[in-house]
Structure 1
């Protein structure tokens, strides 16, 4: 569970913390939104950060560790698989000088619902285990909880009937040094994490 929460917290923080922005090649706000979401879908989280206004080197390093160095872990694989299932459609744009609002429809796996189901299943399994195993055996099993959670989460994400959630949001961007950068907020984070922000109370 700690591994799952760590990955979630990192994703939320990297869209929240403030710092200097990197220059990117997009010269329209629509291009920046598409570039961010396409990179995010492809699992290139580092690349997607080039299109975000607020980020810190610390969060970038944490993402590198969890999604590049530790990419073979089941939890990381599950999140990357989740990102790949995101679909989006730009509906309209409102651009005024150095500020823009891009109305976008985003459909993503409903991670809030999926992880809620996962927690219920694991809690039920643990109660059942306590009734048939010794306390020592139960503690030993709990030591492998991160692996169990990763396996179950990946199984749910790979399911054909994975629950999805669709949100239509206004993505705000600001033009800095010739580049359009996304100004993230809770609405944006909910959309790209399938309401997971609500689940862990980062509102």
Structure 2
């Protein structure tokens, strides 16, 4: 008996032709403002959000994000960052990255309230997932970084706590480039190793996908 297809769609370019493949999955996860919708299909079961700092404040402020099509379609909101972990990072970041003064501001309660008010499940990815991921990333010699990308945290959580042995976990829209303080070069090597182990697959060119940007 085959398992589910779980497709994790980053915010990078997904070219024409991928929409039907992505929408045929059993579960589709997108990120933040879901820029992948369009060429990357429309199905959205889970929206994983960066729940600290400016991105979180922007999403919760006003109604644009809350009323967007993908967010309305989603049955779950996942907060990618654990508030306590980021609170513990604040003092050191103020010394090393003073420009990130609001990076650790925690808006988890706002996403939880929104989910509750709209009848959705809210889930916070546990700190253990972050810590295990950072240990795994250390094998790939990351350059100095602040945090792994939200996309990588979700991949780690899906593989550790969500996917079943027969499930097919598929990535689209991941190019492992973006914000300078994510360890994207190491993240690419980490994902490539998971693909080589058969734990993940990238939506390949025959299925009209591409990976030119990170989540």
Which bin holds the TM-score, normalised by the shorter protein? under 0.3
TM, length-normalised to structure 2: 0.26
Q: Between Structure 1 and Structure 2, whose CA radius of gyration is higher?
A: 1
Report which of the two has the higher share of strand. 1
Report which of the two has the higher share of helix. 1
